[in-house]
Amino acid sequence: MLYIFLVFVFMGVMTEACFASGITNYPRLNTAEFWQGIEKDGDELILNDEEVARFNQEIIDRSNSVYDLSKYPTLISGTQLKKMLETEVLDESVFIGSHLMSKAEKERLLSERNLTEIFEDNKVQYGVVVRRSNLRTLPTVEGIFESAEDKEFDYLQETAVDPSEPVVILHESKSKEFYFVQMRNYYGWVLKKDIALANREMWLTYVQPNRFLTVLTDKIALQGANEAVIYQMGSKIKLAESAESFYQVILPTRNADGNLIEISQNIAKTIELIEGNLPYTKNNIIQQSFKFLQEPYGWGGLKNSVDCSSFIADIYRSFGIDLPRNADEQELTAGKYIPMSSMSSEERMDTLKQLNAGDVIFFDGHVMLYLGMTNDTPYIIHSLGSHTLHQNGIKEKVRVMKVVVSDLSLKRYSGISFLDALTGTITYQF
């Protein structure tokens, strides 16, 4: 009987280990509560609001892409503006729709940048985004893809911009259908119809709102003037009043002349929203990350979802921390950074054992949120596009395309494991 009992125990351990390896389907590892339960001091405040503001200034000082928009100059030189507009050179071996892009199509797209209308000094305008919109490399809604079959990774998609987001308007496309804008952590082209013009005084109430709500769920839809508008996690919504059972919020909309009009809307109080920023704790980082679990991978914010770096940025924006948009800049911004490129596998494991839940780890082209160790195995949650199976000399690319919990045994196309590909880890605090 003892032999049979030990066999069943052994089989149970083996089943759990197998079920939990790679991308885990083991139920308890796919809950925030499990990881919160093994984290020490999970409810201890990491930074208060004043410290978050100081940390954001360090991010601005360290990152070329992150701005305090309230200090953005009122004029931009033609030299600087052209440099921003000319950063992208299209390869002609890409597809528009089902066909290869022609030289004429490339020239047409590039001509939309309207470079002849750039002057020595260019006065900026101010705008507020009125609906979730795509920020593009070039002023077009046409997608550019690596192949005719693959429509997941649009080369021109940079990021998504949520409603109530303030932007500095720097230029207009030749067709007058797009504005070239600078947002807090990115620049690019946004459809003109998705932006309302505002005077600087009104615009500053969106840059630095006195009172605001923060979106805590992966996304919510609020009823605007004539449509439902989607706000993603970390978005800020201007708050006019907080009553016992409802919030009175201010939503931006655009009139026929393209100018900003504000509408007042009462919405029920809900756990999906909080006044101010969510307290910055390890348990709250874990909780926020699991609200995206199984959500689709959305390259550049497509599908009203997240890719690997917007997953991280949205979680941290819940606490008022404005990170750079892209993974490489998130790795090199303010915080406590540990380089890992030259470490052995054993040194990498030792480093991971010292991390806290909510720390962020990187390899080239990917960023992941660290959850912790269980059974001497490090686990992460991340928005994963793909990994590669290697067996008998055959490589099979596996499209995952969603937010998952996994260990670091997954492999890249080169055959190297995620663990051995790690370049660094960062803790976003002083």
Tens place of pLDDT per residue across the chain (430 aa)? 433 333 333 334 434 444 567 999 999 999 999 999 998 899 999 999 999 999 999 999 999 999 999 999 999 999 999 999 997 767 778 999 889 999 999 999 999 999 999 999 999 999 999 999 999 999 999 999 999 988 899 999 999 999 999 999 999 999 999 999 999 999 999 999 999 999 999 999 999 999 999 999 999 999 888 899 999 999 999 999 999 999 999 999 999 999 999 999 999 999 899 999 999 999 999 999 999 999 999 999 999 999 999 999 999 999 999 999 999 999 999 999 999 999 999 999 999 999 999 999 999 999 999 999 999 999 999 999 999 999 888 999 999 999 999 999 999 999 999 999 999 999 999 9
Find out whether 112 and 139 touch, Cβ atoms under 8 Å: yes
**The one-letter amino acid at 191:** L
Shared domain check, 150 and 35:
no
Domain boundary, last residue among 275, 308, 338 = 275
Establish if 297 belongs to a structural domain.
no
Q: Which two tokens stand for residue 278?
A: 């969510």
Establish if 115 belongs to a structural domain.
yes
pLDDT given at position 4: 38
pTM: 0.94
Establish if 409 belongs to a structural domain.
yes
Distance of CA 87 to the CA centre of its chain: 22
Please give the helix or strand (H or E) that residue 263 lies within, else none. strand 260-268
Find out whether 94 and 145 touch, Cβ atoms under 8 Å: yes
Shared domain check, 355 and 206:
no
- In 3D, which of 293, 99, 289, 260 has the Cα closest to residue 194? 260
pLDDT given at position 226: 86
Establish if 209 belongs to a structural domain.
yes
Shared domain check, 32 and 53:
no
pLDDT given at position 20: 64
Shared domain check, 174 and 129:
yes
**Cβ contacts of residue 37 below 8 Å, gap of 6+?**
none
Establish if 210 belongs to a structural domain.
yes
Percent of residues in the chain assigned helix, strand, coil, to nearest 5:
30, 35, 35
Shared domain check, 267 and 128:
yes
Owning domain of residue 400: 26-47+317-427
Neighbours of 326 (CB within 10 A): 21
**Cβ contacts of residue 28 below 8 Å, gap of 6+?**
34
Establish if 288 belongs to a structural domain.
no
Please give the helix or strand (H or E) that residue 126 lies within, else none. strand 125-129
Q: What are the pLDDT digits (tens) for 201-236?
A: 999 999 999 999 999 999 999 988 889 999 999 999
Shared domain check, 139 and 177:
yes
Domain boundary, last residue among 275, 304, 337 = 275
**How many structural domains compose the chain?**
2
Find out whether 88 and 138 touch, Cβ atoms under 8 Å: yes
DSSP 312: H
Establish if 34 belongs to a structural domain.
yes
Shared domain check, 270 and 342:
no
Find out whether 325 and 187 touch, Cβ atoms under 8 Å: no
Rounded Cα distance, 274 and 261, in Å: 24
DSSP 295: P
Please give the helix or strand (H or E) that residue 331 lies within, else none. helix 327-331
Shared domain check, 348 and 261:
no
Shared domain check, 253 and 356:
no
pLDDT given at position 90: 79
* Burial degree of 289 (CB within 10 A; 0-12, 13-18, 19+): buried
Establish if 263 belongs to a structural domain.
yes
Shared domain check, 253 and 205:
yes
List the CATH number of the domain containing 364.
3.90.1720.10
Shared domain check, 73 and 35:
no
Q: Which two tokens stand for residue 386?
A: 């793909």
**Cβ contacts of residue 206 below 8 Å, gap of 6+?**
128, 164, 165, 166, 198, 238, 252
Shared domain check, 202 and 83:
yes
CA distances from 388 to 78, 391, 412 (A): 45, 10, 5
pLDDT given at position 225: 83
Q: Which two tokens stand for residue 249?
A: 């919020």
Domain boundary, last residue among 275, 307, 332 = 275
